[in-house]
Amino acid sequence: METAVHIKRRLFNHRGIALFGPILFLTATASPTALEQNWTNYVRIGAYGLRADNADKIVADAQANGVFGIEVDNDIEGRYESFLDPTAKLKAIRAVAEKAHAAGNYAFVYIAGTECITANADKTAHTMAKDHPDWLQRKITGEPAIFGGGTAFWIRKGDEDVWVSPYAPEWRKIYMEHVRQIAATGIDGIYVDIPYWMTHFEGWEDTWASFDDYTVAAFRKQTGLDAKKDLKLGDFSDPNFRKWVDFRIQTFTDFMREIDENAKSVNPKIKTIPEIYPGIESEAVRVGADVYSLYPVVDAIAHEYEFGEGDHMAASRTPLDWFYYQVGMHSFRAFAQGKATWILNYSWDGEKTVDKREAMMNLAMSELMAGANFWDAPGHSMAGSNDIATRKRIFAWIKENEKTFYLPRAPINPIGVYFSPETRDYYARDFIRSYRGILILLMQAHREFQIVTPRTLGEFRGGTLVLPDVRVLSQDERNWLEQYVAGGNKLIVTGNDPLGAGTRANIVRFPDCPGKAYVASLEANFERTGPQLEQPFLDSLPQSPEIEISASPQVATSISLVEGRVHVFFANFAGLVGGKNPIQTPESATVTVPAERGHSAYFLPYLGNIQELTGVPKNGKETFVLPPVAKGAVFWLQSH
């Protein structure tokens, strides 16, 4: 929705995304692009193994345990037996869809992306690799992507695990036919697990596969280059290797788009949801599944997010890990532009010194405060729960307060932080450290921020935009930034100067990136690091007239409008010790807003009940002292 925005011309970036030309920049109340919400925005996910005879039991259990959005594991594509004949599994999918709909619920079915397992391959004459060796992904040396039991925890002894080239035409034709057959069952969603290039098993990490004949031919057709001879693999300064990187990302974006189109050609209401473990870090470039590129072509993404070097098990996370996690989830929400962000992460895996219930509650809290949907699972399994009673409690509370967390969030008067996809692609480590550092600094200083991307530049209304060590800009991005500055807005450039502008009117330069410096301080001594260490950077930012927050830097805040009302989401990580203590130290906080007649303030503690607050007026402002924030909380204002 382009209200109050005068659009003179459209611009397009390198990924074919529309940007908007000269605009009138507004403050607080401009709405983000409208996107109608659907069931994917409100799911509370539980997963189940689907057989021919257990649809009734699955749906009954989901209803009893507060599950809304039932995942069923019935993998047609990823098991060679059903890839050859999907009849029985299609019947089971139809049955669970009908049962779920009769109960007022929704169901979605798991299928593999490019992986396929043949059970007991050592005892059968027909396997994917034996029947179709030309379909397999390969290293540049020709070694096929074939693996056996023990390579990964889900591959049993005697099984054959292979990874197929998405350019194998016969395989792709059969795959899409299965997608249409699945959609015809009436199931509500198709959940595509890790549609990747094989670069994540031991010995394959740095291969930049695949160099099978089909893929090499497709790259030659697109670029005129021979992938086996014309690239310096792993050398991001090589323009031809960059083309290979772009090609590999585009491949799986196109693959997911084709799945979505095939499914919707049969069932227009069906949703496509890929499961992706890489987030904003370099792993996305390596496996070729980039969530920034994927969100426009699917309906939601399920993130099995491991945030690079951090610990992805909630019971083991340090407070800094939790802040990295917040950066990732807020990035996903920005990329999604109103689509749903599901988080399939893990809370506890047998840690004797950590209460699994507390770990589960911490994980759910952190996701809710960022606006993401919680999927509870035990250990590293998708199905079940570490503690069903705790999950029921969390799900019941989410259902009661779902609009607070899942209605669209709009900016008020934010500091923009730019996510540059191409800079991440080619300079991942430097960019991510800068980007993370700036965002954590703003979270800990309790300043409103908005993550801005090439797709959302035209919607950004904030008066200040930060470029965190950005190295690569298209000409369209450069033009937009010049117009932004010419419109009287401030641009803050940290680290690298992609515009070559130096310091000038409305442009502030920090050659020594404060984001990188802040991350280094956090890593060296998290407890003694606070926003005051980067005071010159904070002083360069305008003060928000709408809201002031005072709280510990170990509390992450995010500020937005929900249904036109100011909301502040608090996630408290004070006192957490990875692997030892999952119980936070309660923290105090105050919120100060302009004094206005006819509004009330409310406080919702995590897993608690709404409380009305009384403010203290002074000098045209009103200050609300919040009850102690234990794990997390939400504050909001509401007009009478």
Tens digit of each residue's pLDDT (9 = 90 or more) over 89-123: 999 999 999 999 999 999 999 999 999 999 999 89
CA atoms of 457 and 334, how far apart (whole Å): 11
Residue 95 corresponds to which amino acid?
A
The pLDDT score that the predictor gives to residue 153 is 82
Q: Which residue has the tokens 């997963």?
A: 47
Question: Which of 1-10, 95-104, 138-147, 189-198 has the least mean pLDDT?
Answer: 1-10
**pLDDT of residue 500 exceeding 90:** no
Using an 8 Å Cβ cutoff, are 105 and 68 in contact? yes
**Fold annotation for 1-31+413-544:** Rossmann fold (3.40.50)
Tell me the pLDDT band of 378, cut-offs 50, 70 and 90.
confident
**SS3 assignment, position 133:** helix
Burial of 632 (0-12, 13-18, 19+ CB in 10 A): buried
Residue 448 pLDDT > 70, yes or no?
yes
- Can you tell me the distance from the alpha carbon of 346 to that of 377, in angstroms, rounded to the nearest whole number? 6
For residues 22 and 260, the model is more confident at: 260
- Rounded Cα distance between 622 and 54, Å, is 57
The pTM assigned to this predicted structure is 0.93
8-state DSSP, 42: G
Instruction: Name the nearest CA neighbour of 442 among 417, 471, 413.
Output: 417
In angstroms, rounded to a whole number, what is the distance separating the alpha carbons of residues 426 and 429? 9
Give the C-alpha distances (Å, rounded to integers) separating 162 from 127, 133, 215.
10, 10, 16
Q: Which residues contact 30 (CB under 8 A, 6 or more apart)?
A: 3, 4, 5, 410, 411, 459, 461
Pairing mode of beta strands 160-163, 115-118? antiparallel
The tokens describing 460, both together, are 């950004």
Amino acid present at 518:
Y
CA distance 325 to 221: 40
Domain boundaries, the chain: 1-31+413-544
Query: Residue 25 — very low, low, confident or very high, per pLDDT cuts 50/70/90?
Result: very low
Query: Over the stretch 134-170, which tens digit does the pLDDT of each residue have?
Result: 999 999 999 999 999 888 888 889 999 999 999 999 9
Average pLDDT over residues 510-534: 97
pLDDT digits (tens, 9 = 90+) for 254-271: 999 999 999 999 999 999
Residue pair 249/285 in contact (Cβ under 8 Å)? The answer is yes
